[in-house]
Amino acid sequence: MCRVLRAGDAPGAAVGVAPRLGCRLEGRAIRYAPMKTGERASPFSLPDQHGGTVTLDSLLGQGPVVFFFYPKDETPGCTAEACAFRDATGDFVAAGARILGVSSDSVASHKRFADKHGFSYPLLADEGGKLREAWGIKKAFFGLADARVTVVLDKDGVVRHQYEAMLQSNRHVDEALATVRSLAVR
């Protein structure tokens, strides 16, 4: 696995995501430019709410993959967004897509959140924000909060659509579903 090193890291310390083209050295850390449509997503390995490990490679090849990045479990906007994806799961499955939620909350927090609201899709624990950083997903509200961003990858891991809106949480489902359906006709 490729590595991202920061000041104080031991040489060769893996962080769970692989750097991609478009990164630059900024101070003592590697900073990433936002992924662009048509660019291949960086590989990752993250735990889900059940403690299992999910990798990008394990998701590819079967159809589109929708990642919705959200700020925090159990907050009103994030709960509305996650429930909107839950309610549209049948539409995504019919279009051949998989859904994954991603936030910096812990595995235990994700488990409580998923159990309480009946989410059948994985919630990935990106503690420390390494995947957000590798994929170039910036902070919102002047760097004070994780941004709400949805990324749609095709079956080969290529970015086909990104949508960012902090206050229009339900629109993320519409944007993702339209993209997934458009990929089905290609």
Q: Which positions are catalytic?
A: 78
- For the chain, the structural domain boundaries read 42-184
Give the distance from CA 8 to its chain's centroid.
27
Is the CB of residue 164 less than 8 Å from the CB of residue 146?
no
Rounded to whole angstroms, the Cα distance separating 150 from 36 reads: 13
d(CA 151, CA 185) in angstroms, rounded, equals 19
Does the pLDDT of residue 80 top 80, yes or no? Answer: yes
What pLDDT band is residue 49 in, cutting at 50, 70 and 90? Answer: very high
115 pLDDT higher than 50? yes
pLDDT at residue 165, as a whole number: 73
Enter the pTM of the model: 0.81
Topology (CATH level 3) of domain 42-184 = Glutaredoxin (3.40.30)
Give CA angle at 102 (123, 160), nearest 5°: 115
The pLDDT-based confidence of 151 (bands split at 50, 70, 90) is very high
